[in-house]
Amino acid sequence: VAAMRAGDAAAAATFGRWLDRLGRGLAGVVNVLDPDAIVLGGGLSTIPEIYDALPERVAPHIFGGGFATPIRQSRHGDASGVRGAA
């Protein structure tokens, strides 16, 4: 992520591929469960670029078109799993 932010083209391409794959995966969840919101946790959820770019990666894979499900960062960020286990 640091390399992408510094302008590294290969890092930006890798991040883009990861976003595409995450978007496809989340679209499957939305198509089956129709959630009111998607909350991302864990270390990667602390990357702010995800929240602007991800909805446009999910939208093309939604059945019936239209994607309005909000994608949010968990309140406790990368500590969510540890807090849940406690």
15-30 pLDDT per residue, tens: 999 999 999 999 999 9
User: Taking the CB of residue 84, how many other CB atoms lie within 10 A of it?
Assistant: 10
User: Taking the CB of residue 76, how many other CB atoms lie within 10 A of it?
Assistant: 13
Q: What is the pLDDT of residue 63?
A: 94
Topology at the third CATH level for domain 2-85: Nucleotidyltransferase; domain 5 (3.30.420)
Q: What is the sign, positive or negative, of the torsion defined by CA atoms of 40, 45, 48, 53?
A: negative
Point out which residues pair with 39 in neighbouring strands.
72
Which has more pLDDT, 4 or 42? Answer: 4
Q: What is the pLDDT of residue 27?
A: 97
Domain boundaries, the chain: 2-85
Quote the CA–CA distance of 72 and 77 in Å, as a whole number.
10
Query: pTM for the whole thing?
Result: 0.85
Tell me the HSE value of 80 on the side-chain side, using a 13 A CA sphere: 14
